[in-house]
Amino acid sequence: MMKFAYAVLLMTALPTLALAQTMPAAQTTSVAGANLSAQDKELISLSQQKWRWMAEKNVAALDKLFDEKSIFVHMSRTMTKPQELEVIRTGNIEYRKADVSDVSVRFINDTAIVWSRIELQAIVGGNVANNPFTVTETFVKVGDQWKLGALVFSAFRGPPAVPAAAPK
């Protein structure tokens, strides 16, 4: 319980608020750090799968992935798990194109922080929105499964620096 609370606190204190989600065409074109562990690859793959499920409106799969206490920080508001699932189910944000260009993974005990740089094209409120932003996802290991505890979208102006590799 404390690990989850710490992960959520960590996520809410990190980035500034920004816009929306992304879509299934997400592809990693570069990855921070030279050597990826099996666990790094597992989290990157899970993050990419989550984007596909969001674009496909696969609420059943997302419901299993999102922790009951998860939070979702967007430009205009912060949502709970039921609110986020409803936005996805109803198509309030329609995902058109997303490219993940950089990914960094860090671990703190049973918590994984996945940072990504994203270029997004979506339909939001009937308007085309083209937005570059960073996404910070916090996953917490519960038993033998990773659960998403927080998803935070951050606007940026110009290319942000990819987080340096975590100290060993």
CA dist list (Å): 120 to 22, 68, 130: 6, 27, 6
pLDDT the model gives residue 158: 64
Q: How much is the pLDDT for 166?
A: 61
Give residue-wise pLDDT tens across range 26-39.
333 345 555 789 99
Structure tokens at 109: 């005990």
Domain ranges of the chain: 2-155
Neighbours of 145 (CB within 10 A): 11
Residue 162 CA neighbour count, 13 Å, CB half: 17
Helix (H, G, I), strand (E, B) or coil at 76: coil
pLDDT band at 151 (very low <50, low <70, confident <90, very high): very high
Percent of residues, the chain, with pLDDT higher than 70: 71
Topology of the domain comprising 2-155: Nuclear Transport Factor 2; Chain: A, (3.10.450)
Q: Is the pLDDT of residue 25 over 70?
A: no
42 or 8, greater pLDDT: 42
Q: Is the pLDDT of residue 74 over 90?
A: no
**Which segment of 33-37, 102-106, 154-158, 159-163 scores lowest on mean pLDDT?**
159-163
Contact 123, 139 (CB under 8 A): no
Does pLDDT of 7 surpass 60? no
Task: Tell me what pLDDT residue 142 has.
Answer: 96
CB atoms within 10 A of CB 25: 15
